[in-house]
């Protein structure tokens, strides 16, 4: 009886994994441009541009490799498109909800591995598109209120394309920018 239960459970897990893999490979190709016609002769053709991120996913995933994802994708999306995590992956030490950046190398750690260093950031720099409030407060002249302003600006206006755009955030002027410009990145 116990043997049949274990066999049935293993079969169910295999079916679920195959379903996830099938789903990931059956997703239609992302088109970088979508054209929408509103249907009335007086309206013009509206074009929406979808920005694509290219990331390299390795470590404890089923199919390591280079993948394309839409802008504003999260770490969880990258892992899923790479076939999902293996049974050895330790997802508890990485932030699955964080945004990913174009050109990023994502390493999914195994149990017992330390968290990947500077995940999603340039060495020694803080990514202002993905940093948490506590990470932002490690920057000189950035306290909790200014860090909250950076996050609010990012949520309201979208990702920063250049580090200079941080000067649009309330309470960040030229002096503050000069003190952090070598410590921040947008990739």
The mean pLDDT of 181-185, rounded to a whole number, is: 89
Do the domain assignments include residue 21? no
Do the domain assignments include residue 7? no
How many domains are there within the chain?
Answer: 2
Do the domain assignments include residue 66? yes
Name the pTM for this structure: 0.44
Q: Over the stretch 128-171, which tens digit does the pLDDT of each residue have?
A: 988 889 889 888 889 999 999 999 999 999 999 999 999 999 99
Per-residue confidence (pLDDT) for residue 8, from 0 to 100: 72
- Residues 99 and 132 grouped into a single domain: no
Domain extent for 101: 30-108
Do the domain assignments include residue 175? yes
Per-residue confidence (pLDDT) for residue 120, from 0 to 100: 44
- Residues 87 and 47 grouped into a single domain: yes
Hey, which bits of 44-125 come out as E strands? 46-49, 52-59, 65-70, 105-108
- Residues 37 and 88 grouped into a single domain: yes
The answer to whether the CB of 143 falls within 8 A of the CB of 137 is yes
Hey, which bits of the chain come out as E strands? 33-36, 46-49, 52-59, 65-70, 105-108, 126-127, 184-185
Q: Report the CATH number that the domain containing residue 155 is assigned in CATH.
A: 1.10.150.320
Q: Over the stretch 65-76, which tens digit does the pLDDT of each residue have?
A: 999 999 888 999
- Residues 84 and 152 grouped into a single domain: no
């Amino acid at each position: 009886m116990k043997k049949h239960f274990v066999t049935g459970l293993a079969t169910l897990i295999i079916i679920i994994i195959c379903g996830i893999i099938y789903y990931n490979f059956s997703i239609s190709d992302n088109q970088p441009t979508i054209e929408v016609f509103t249907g009335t002769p007086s309206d013009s053709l509206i074009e929406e541009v979808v920005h694509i991120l290219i990331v390299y996913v390795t470590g404890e995933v089923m199919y390591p490799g280079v993948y394309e994802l839409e802008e504003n994708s999260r770490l969880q999306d990258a892992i899923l498109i790479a076939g999902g995590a293996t049974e050895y992956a330790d997802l508890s030490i990485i932030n699955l909800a964080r945004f990913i950046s174009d050109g990023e190398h994502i390493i999914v750690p195994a149990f017992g591995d330390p968290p990947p260093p500077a995940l999603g950031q340039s060495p020694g720099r803080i990514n202002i598109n993905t940093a948490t409030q506590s990470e932002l407060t490690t920057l000189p002249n950035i306290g909790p209120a200014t860090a909250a302003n950076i996050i609010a600006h990012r949520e309201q206006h979208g990702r920063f394309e250049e580090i200079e755009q941080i000067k649009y955030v309330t309470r960040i002027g030229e002096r503050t920018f000069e003190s952090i410009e070598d410590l921040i990145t947008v990739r």
